[in-house]
């Protein structure tokens, strides 16, 4: 879960919703993959699926407050499950999700042998898929750069990280290798340089508001989330005039 503290209590966004937001953003990019484009969108939409269920205090801190995913302990449960699930969809979807996992988890390689083994397994899987599909590695890298860019952009939005007063925040490098920045002006989102194929569009994510600040266990948190106020949190992206 993505957790933001707000005056009303906690704003909660499920990671599946974050993935859906990332996919909405990706849909605005110029298509360059022909028949593989839908597989790229699906990989982006589903890359954060297969999270732990609500049990054993997976989603609560020691003080009983909802825990943002960035505070989770290192675990291979979700990455293993999501790449396994992708194998039943398509090779290209599996490749992109696997590339994303190695990108995220490489910094943890030396934490334990299981993590190192998982990363080596993913690297081997990627090489086999590229070979079996006769893919150009450069094309795969470009596709993943869009994946990574949209994931990062979605997280910035979900975590309310865009600075005020038109200050710019770095997203990451875009498909051309140029660093992208995001900022807001007059309640509209701007990206520099503008990467999209249309001049304006609106995206949204489903958010919930919890007015109770702490919980005894995951089951109580889950019950409150089921009855929480739900709303669509929207952003309008607009190309800034020169």
Structure confidence at residue 241 (pLDDT): 79
Structure confidence at residue 71 (pLDDT): 84
Give the integer Cα–Cα distance in Å for 211 and 179.
39
- Please compute Rg for the chain using Cα positions: 19
- Torsion 72-172-39-131 (CA) sign: negative
Give the integer Cα–Cα distance in Å for 90 and 33.
15
Q: How many CB atoms lie within 10 A of CB 172?
A: 13
Beta bridge partners of 210: 10
Structure confidence at residue 34 (pLDDT): 81
Q: What does the angle CA 71 – CA 119 – CA 93 come to, to the nearest 5 degrees?
A: 90
- Please check whether residue 240 is in contact with residue 190, taking contact to mean a CB–CB distance below 8 angstroms: yes
The SS3 assignment for 237 reads strand
Domains of the chain, residue spans? 2-163+205-235
- Tens of each residue's pLDDT in the chain, 242 residues: 999 999 999 999 999 999 999 999 999 999 988 889 999 999 999 988 767 766 665 789 989 999 998 888 888 988 999 999 999 999 999 999 999 999 999 999 999 999 999 999 999 999 999 999 999 999 999 999 999 999 999 999 999 999 988 899 999 999 989 999 999 988 899 999 999 999 999 999 999 999 999 999 999 999 999 999 999 999 999 998 76
Beta bridge partners of 203: 235
Structure confidence at residue 242 (pLDDT): 65
- Please check whether residue 43 is in contact with residue 71, taking contact to mean a CB–CB distance below 8 angstroms: no
Structure tokens at 96: 């992109």
Q: How many CB atoms lie within 10 A of CB 29?
A: 18
What b-and-e string marks burial along 42-59, b requiring 16 or more CB atoms within 10 Å of the CB? bbbbbbbebbeebeebbb
Q: Are strands 179-185 and 188-192 parallel, antiparallel or unpaired?
A: antiparallel
Q: pLDDT, tens digit, for every residue of 165-206?
A: 889 999 999 998 999 999 998 889 999 999 999 999 999 999
The SS3 assignment for 188 reads strand
């Amino acid at each position: 879960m993505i957790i933001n503290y707000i005056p009303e209590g906690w704003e909660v966004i499920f990671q599946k919703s974050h993935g859906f937001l990332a996919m909405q953003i990706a849909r605005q990019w110029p298509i360059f993959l022909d028949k593989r484009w839908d597989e790229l969108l699906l990989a982006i939409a589903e890359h954060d699926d297969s999270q732990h269920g609500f049990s054993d205090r997976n989603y609560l801190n020691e003080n009983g407050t909802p825990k943002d995913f960035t505070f989770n302990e290192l675990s291979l449960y979700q990455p293993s499950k999501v790449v396994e699930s992708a194998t039943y969809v398509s090779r290209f979807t599996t490749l992109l999700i696997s590339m994303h996992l190695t990108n995220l988890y490489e910094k943890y390689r030396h934490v334990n042998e299981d993590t190192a083994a998982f990363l080596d397994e993913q690297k081997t899987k990627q090489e086999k898929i590229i070979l079996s599909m006769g893919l150009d590695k450069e094309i795969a890298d470009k596709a993943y750069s869009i994946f990574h860019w949209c994931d990062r952009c979605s997280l910035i939005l979900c975590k309310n990280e865009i600075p005020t007063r038109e200050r710019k925040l770095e997203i990451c490098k875009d498909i051309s290798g140029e660093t992208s920045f995001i900022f807001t002006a007059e309640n509209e989102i701007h990206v520099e340089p503008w990467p999209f194929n249309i001049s304006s569009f609106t995206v949204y994510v489903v958010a919930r508001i919890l007015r109770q600040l702490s919980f005894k266990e995951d089951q109580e948190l889950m019950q409150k989330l089921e009855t929480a106020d739900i709303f669509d949190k929207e952003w309008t992206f607009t190309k800034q005039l020169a």
